Amino acid sequence: YIGSAIEFEKKAQKFFSDTNAFIELSSNPFNEILDKVTQLLNTLRGKDLIRKWQYEQMMPDRTKCELAHLYFNPKTHKDGIPVRPIESTIHASTTKISKFLDKILRPIFDDKCKDTTIIDGASLITKLSKYNKK
């Protein structure tokens, strides 16, 4: 995408005003969020509600964490080149908790949803064929 930065900024602002899906923060909540996550994990561990290995897997590393943030990519294949919001949470304080819970919940979710999950075009055709035979 080669365009003007001012034009791109206008498109991002238009996205904000059209959707009301996000608010601009007036202060940085990074330390507060990280402290709450750490406090929660310490409380769970202190009450023996999680094991040491679970605690260690979920505990965020203060030196590697960053505040989740939003950026935009242009949709160059669409007329007018609108923007697509991307939320970057890869280094957020809660990412390790999310990954830990996903390992536990993913197999259960996948098993319960396997009849309605479409992975690719081939699985869509298979599912439609089975549905058509009913």
Indicate the DSSP class of residue 27.
S
pLDDT, residue 1, reads: 63
- Tell me the pLDDT tens digit for each residue of 15-31: 999 999 898 899 999 99
3-class DSSP assignment, residue 72:
strand
Q: Taking the model in full, what pTM does it have?
A: 0.76
Angle among Cα 70, 76, 81 to the nearest 5 degrees reads 75
- Tell me the pLDDT tens digit for each residue of 118-133: 889 998 898 888 888 8
Euclidean distance between CA atoms 3 and 104, whole angstroms? 44
Helix (H) or strand (E) holding 66: none
- Tell me the pLDDT tens digit for each residue of 61-118: 999 999 999 999 999 898 988 899 999 999 999 999 999 999 999 999 999 998 888 8
